[in-house]
């Protein structure tokens, strides 16, 4: 029976470290959060972020802009935050109104204040093995894998899902550890090859958003399984992996909820402190 890789205890340890780093900074760090329009999903993220920030001694400055804010006005707003010396990190809350292109907008955030790690310069740093601000979900998955104690050198790692926030940065981070990385995606599934790749994974990371996509009996004995997926069913939230069957075969597995989720906001705060340190240089 697999051991559970739970995010909460890991997050608590990392938060203690963040608190020490916050205390060593010259000034209380400030996180600027931008919400465009009122949205229940974004509001719930904002609530958990502001609570986490408060507990760590970080100032959380929320700015809510009107629903009809244009891309140009948002870019102007970001530029002001970039030049505001009291602001250490900037996050744009999702979802954004349909008229605003997140990828375009996020490239205007100063790379030193890009606590979501999505600026091309920060992604480029990961490519060159010089990661500093890492996308939070990818960072959470790395923390969970590390907490299993597995040495990644030469291991067969299979990532299912190739999004910019999870699969792609993770592939680069894992390559840097000399893992043999396979990235599977919709094309892999359509070619009928998902099962054969998953079956040989010593480390499996799944970030798709489809309940039951990964059958429990595909899991290799002793594998480390990181399930990033969040799927809201009528009566519960589940990941992308059939948990009960997978747990019988895996060595370590993340529960959903309770695995990756509780770590991501902590990774955001860790990036904020990293940003504050970059600005002190």
Contact residues for ligand NDP (CB under 6 A)?
137, 160-163, 165-167, 184-186, 188-189, 194, 207-210, 213, 228-230, 260-261, 264
Give the integer Cα–Cα distance in Å for 243 and 37.
37
DSSP letter at 52? H
29 or 167: CB nearest ligand NDP: 167
Closer by beta carbon to ligand NDP, 81 or else 184? 184
Question: Which of 73, 87, 80 lies closest to 115 in space, CA to CA?
Answer: 87
Nearer to ligand NDP among residue 132 and residue 210 (C-beta): 210
Give the C-alpha separation, 161 to 230, whole Å: 13
Minimum Å distance from CB 272 to ligand NDP?
17
In the complex, what is the shortest distance from the CB of residue 162 to ligand NDP, in angstroms, rounded to a whole number?
Answer: 4
Please state the closest distance from residue 109 (CB atom) to ligand NDP, in A. 19
3 state SS of 106? helix
Per the CB < 8 A criterion, the answer to whether 268 and 49 are in contact is yes
* Least CB distance to ligand NDP at residue 119 (A): 17
Kindly give, in sequence order, each residue whose CB lies less than 8 Å from that of residue 89, ignoring residues fewer than 6 positions away.
29, 30, 31, 32, 113, 114, 115, 271, 272, 275, 276
Nearer to ligand NDP, 29 or 259 (CB): 259
Closer to ligand NDP at the Cβ: 126 or 184?
Answer: 184
- In the complex, residue closest to ligand NDP by CB: 209
């Amino acid at each position: 029976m697999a051991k559970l890789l739970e995010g909460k205890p890991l997050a608590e340890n990392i938060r203690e470290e963040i608190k020490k780093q916050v205390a060593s900074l010259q000034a209380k760090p400030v996180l600027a959060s931008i919400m465009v329009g009122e949205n229940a999903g974004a509001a719930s993220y904002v609530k958990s972020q502001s609570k986490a920030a408060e507990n760590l001694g970080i100032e959380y400055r929320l700015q809510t802009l009107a629903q009809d804010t244009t891309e140009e006005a948002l870019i102007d707003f970001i530029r002001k935050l970039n030049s505001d010396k009291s602001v250490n990190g900037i996050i744009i809350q999702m979802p954004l109104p349909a008229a605003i292109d997140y990828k375009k907008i996020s490239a205007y955030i100063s790379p030193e204040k890009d606590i979501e790690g999505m600026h091309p310069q920060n992604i480029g740093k990961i490519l060159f093995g010089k990661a500093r601000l890492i996308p939070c979900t990818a960072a959470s998955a790395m923390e969970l894998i590390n907490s299993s104690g597995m040495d990644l050198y030469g291991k067969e790692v299979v990532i299912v899902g190739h999004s910019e926030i999870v699969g792609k940065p993770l592939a680069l981070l894992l390559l840097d550890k000399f893992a043999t990385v396979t990235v599977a995606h919709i094309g892999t599934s359509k070619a009928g090859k998902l099962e054969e790749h998953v079956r040989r994974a010593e480390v499996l990371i799944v970030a798709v958003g489809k309940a039951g996509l990964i059958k429990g009996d595909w899991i290799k004995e002793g594998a480390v399984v990181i399930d990033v997926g969040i799927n809201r069913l009528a009566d519960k939230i589940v990941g992308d992996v059939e948990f009960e069957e997978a747990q019988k075969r895996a060595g370590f597995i993340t529960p959903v909820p309770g695995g990756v989720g509780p770590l991501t906001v902590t990774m955001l705060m860790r990036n904020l402190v990293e940003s504050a340190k970059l600005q002190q240089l």
